Amino acid sequence: MEVNLTLGKVLEIVDGVCSSVDSDFIIKSIKSLETAESQDLAVILERGDASVFDSVSLDKIKNSKAGLILSSNADVPEKNYIIVKDAVGAFQKLVNYLNQQPVGSVGKNIDATAVVDPSAVVCDGAKIGAGSRIGALSFVGRNCVIGGCVTLHPGVKILDRCIIGDGTEIHSGAVIGSDGFGYKVTTQGMQKIPHIGIVRVGRMVEIGANTAIDRSSFGETVIGDGVKIDNLVHIAHNVKVGASTAILAHTSIGGSTQIGVGCQISGHVVIKNDVKIGNGVKIVSKSAVMNNLADGEVVCGVPAISFSKWKRISVLQLRLPEFAKFVAEIQRFIKDNNQSWFKRMVFKFFKKG
């Protein structure tokens, strides 16, 4: 997210202090610790007493190239910090200030061959490519980039700064760039963590009706070229979906998950956050993926396991009533101490197996 403010102005907005850098220093943008450069501001969202979020590792801070770090503690003394009482609250103040600033006289860049239906809204700074169509009641936010031959069906929402690749089709009710779900738990309640990244959708993608794709916390949520997404899918912040992957209806993908190329994800699947899924993976309907999956795996179940193993377990589950009866017979044998009867029962059971 672009800032383009002096350090002095930022200190005024966030009510912070910084003794190591001149107040005339220009902060160009806000980025993550991993991607920030010498004129960027990175933010550390520290863990509170009751927080469910992990602390940022010291190694990540040490390796960051950020010119300044917004934090409530100077965890690595040789770095340049803006020290505030509440990092999340200060970050929110800065984002609110930046969002209230006018885009400027950049206007709109709509190709002459593009069609914008009546009642559609295209905000300042947006760019719409040749042959694209923006359906009625659709919304294209500030500084969005819509490629060529893109179709937004009526009622689609593309929020600020998101990028849609050439030839993509997005069906009614879909929201691209909705705010990510992230909170810091405090004694006063849950405190919203701003998400200032974007969603980047590749070429020739199809996104179904009422699907929601959240913007990233700092960088990009990415949908690769040729991805096909069904209706009513939720893709959380920071997710990366590889090219030519298919995702069926009612699937929910947790934050920061990475999905490989050419995967097939069936309906009603839930994927835990921070999971890495390899190329060519197939996930059967109603599965819950809790762990990383290697290239080419086929999984099923809750939690998801190898499909072949799941089938064997399913067959055994069908025999549970028979097994329960067998256990009852064993208990009776122990009570009666009838050894010959026990041998016959064991032989009969395992012969069926």
Please identify every stretch of the chain with a pLDDT value under 70, giving residue numbers as ranges. Answer: 46-57, 103-106, 333-353
Distance between CA atoms of 297 and 280, rounded to whole angstroms?
7
Among 153, 171, 234, 237, which one carries the catalytic annotation? Answer: 237
What is the structure's pLDDT at 52?
Answer: 40
Distance between CA atoms of 277 and 292, rounded to whole angstroms?
6
Q: List, for residues 73-104, the tens digit of each pLDDT value.
A: 887 888 999 999 888 889 999 999 998 877 65
237 assigned to active site: yes
Task: Quote the CATH superfamily of domain 109-308.
Answer: Hexapeptide repeat proteins (2.160.10.10)
Contact criterion met (CB below 8 Å) for 209 and 174? yes
Q: What are the residue ranges spanned by the domains of the chain?
A: 2-99, 109-308, 319-352
What is the structure's pLDDT at 28?
Answer: 95
179 token code pair: 């705010």
What is the structure's pLDDT at 49?
Answer: 47
- What would you measure as the largest C-alpha separation in the chain, in angstroms? 95
What is the structure's pLDDT at 313?
Answer: 83
What is the structure's pLDDT at 161?
Answer: 94
What is the structure's pLDDT at 294?
Answer: 97
Q: Which residues of 105-138 are buried (b: 16+ CB within 10 A; e: fewer)?
A: eeeeebeeebebeeebebbebbbbbebbbbbebb
What is the structure's pLDDT at 334?
Answer: 67
Task: Quote the CATH superfamily of domain 2-99.
Answer: MurE/MurF, N-terminal domain (3.40.1390.10)
Distance between CA atoms of 203 and 253, rounded to whole angstroms?
21
